[in-house]
Amino acid sequence: MTKRLEGRILAGAVRSRVCSRVTAGLRAGASTPPGLLMIRVGEDPASISYVRGKEKAAAETGIVSRVEVLDLSTSEAVLLARIAEANRDPAIHGLLVQWPLPKQIRPEAASEAIDPAKDVDGLHPYNLGRLALGRPSIVPCTPLGILALLHAGRVPVAGARVVVLGRSQIVGRPLSLLLGVKADWADATVTTAHSHSRGLVNLAREADILVAAIGRPGAVTAEMVKPGATVVDVGIHRLDDPAAPKGVRIVGDVDAAGVEPVAGWLTPVPGGVGPLTVAMLLANTMEAWERACGVIGPATWMEACGLIPEGPGSGELVSGGLGE
Ligand code: GUN
């Protein structure tokens, strides 16, 4: 029977660890609480909802967050000037520009403008470069959450054959780098597949760990999954469904009903990867703050992985079946 990797539960544990470290840092003499600035450009409904979720979660952990909303017509120059100002602000330790951005703004220009020490999305070339070199500093939130979830669920990663479906800058590319790092918490054999990959079904079916980050609802079907494989679903889509409560159904990139009888482990949607992305943003912000204040000594991203509860707690991270 497929077991679920409950990201929501691990995310709660991560948030409470962040909260206690913030409290400890303030007691140890940090002069300001951690500050997170999130810049949203335009009124994309999904972005509004994601940023609101991040704001709420930040408040619960003692991180002071602020959301700035810029008009959809904002020029790249204006956004970059605002980023430069936030880079100089000592009360801001984490800075995030929510994607997608309107077409007049190059996402890479925004990422490169952010001070790498405040780049809590981990998308600056400095941070991605360190990841590529196997010396991660700030790691993008969704890949970090997936790594933590695999470890919390005791899914063997070292030596595993991983297929990542998707090569986005935010998820697919950095996750492939992260899982292939030479370290006992990674050491996987990783293939990054994309829309031009030939023989996708067979490729996917070789995976011990299959990550679906394609952005298409139900794209991963049972025939693509090796029996017993761990399937990580990064997708989140709102589909109109008159039969569902509120007329909307949330689904992932995986055809969960079809894959469930085949997979060994599956991350649910909602409640899988999504909450962990938010929790890891808070962990990255807390670490950036600790480093800036020097309150606890230089923290590393590995401490974010140390947020994974050890021992009996991890048993609560999984449950028996999709129907539960
Ligand atoms: N849009 C969707 N996911 C993300 C994310 O993790 N970071 C940013 N900045 N934008 C996003």
Query: pLDDT tens digits, residue range 29-40?
Result: 899 999 999 999
Closest CA to 78 of 110, 125, 103: 110
Closest residue (by CA) to atom 8 of ligand 1? 98
Task: Give the range among 35-44, 106-115, 218-227, 291-300 with minimum mean pLDDT.
Answer: 291-300
Question: How remote is the CA of residue 60 from the centroid of ligand 1, in Å?
Answer: 20
| In a domain? residue 154 | yes
Q: State the pLDDT at residue 2.
A: 77
Q: Among the listed ranges 169-173, 216-220, 241-245, which one has the minimum average pLDDT value? A: 241-245
When pLDDT is cut at 50, 70 and 90, the band that residue 185 belongs to is confident
- pLDDT, tens digit, 9 for 90 and up, residues 11-23: 998 898 899 889 9
Q: Which long-range contacts link 232-240 to residues 24+ away (Cβ below 8 Å)?
A: 232/5, 232/146, 232/149, 232/150, 232/267, 232/272, 232/273, 233/266, 233/267, 233/268, 233/269, 233/272, 233/273, 234/142, 234/146, 234/166, 234/171, 234/273, 235/269, 236/269, 236/270, 236/274, 238/46
> What is the reported pLDDT for 315?
37
Q: In percent, how much of the chain has pLDDT > 70?
A: 91
281: in domain: yes
Asked whether residue 245 is assigned to any structural domain, the reply reads yes
Please check whether residue 47 lies inside any domain of the structure: no
Is the model's pLDDT at 113 over the cut of 50?
yes
Please report the sign of the dihedral spanned by the C-alpha atoms of residue 305, residue 156, residue 263, residue 2. negative
- The structural domain count of the chain equals 1
Q: 82 in a domain, yes or no?
A: no
- Mean of pLDDT values over 201-206: 98
Q: Is 1 helix (H, G, I), strand (E, B) or coil?
A: coil
Inside any domain, residue 49: no
Residue 321 sits at φ, ψ, to 5 deg, of: -160, 160
121 within ligand 1 shell (Cβ under 6 A)? yes
Q: What is the pLDDT of residue 313?
A: 35
Which of 114-128, 228-242, 256-270, 306-320 shows the lowest per-residue confidence on average (mean pLDDT)?
306-320
Flag whether 275 is in a domain: yes
Q: What is the CATH number of the domain that holds 324?
A: 3.40.50.720
Q: Residue 247 pLDDT more than 80?
A: yes
Determine which one of 54, 118, 226, 253 is catalytic: 54
Catalytic-residue membership of 98: yes
| Residue 295 pLDDT level (bands cut at 50, 70, 90) | confident
Tens digits of per-residue pLDDT, 46-94? 999 999 999 999 999 999 999 999 999 999 999 999 999 999 999 999 9
| Candidates 3, 118, 119, 121; catalytic one | 121
Return the pLDDT at 321.
32
74: tokens are 């904002």
pTM: 0.93
| pLDDT-based confidence at residue 166 (cuts at 50, 70, 90) | very high
Is 220 domain-assigned?
Answer: yes
Is residue 116's pLDDT more than 70? yes
Strand, helix or coil for residue 319: strand
Instruction: Report pLDDT for 245.
Output: 87
Return d(Cα 100, Cα 169) in angstroms, integer.
12
Range of the domain at 283: 1-6+13-30+117-324
Calculate the dihedral angle through the C-alpha atoms of 141, 147, 149, 154, rounding to the nearest 10 degrees: -170
Length of the chain measured in residues: 324
Mutate to test the pocket of ligand 1, among 36, 98, 111 (most ligand atoms within 8 A of CB): 98
Whether 323 has a pLDDT exceeding 80, the answer reads no
Q: Is the pLDDT of residue 296 over 80?
A: no
Using a 10 angstrom Cβ sphere, with 0-12 exposed, 13-18 middle and 19 or more buried, the burial of residue 64 is: middle
Of 254, 209, 253, 211, the residue nearest 235 (C-alpha): 253
Spatial distance between the Cα atoms of 254 and 205, rounded to a whole number of angstroms: 14
The pLDDT score that the predictor gives to residue 303 is: 52
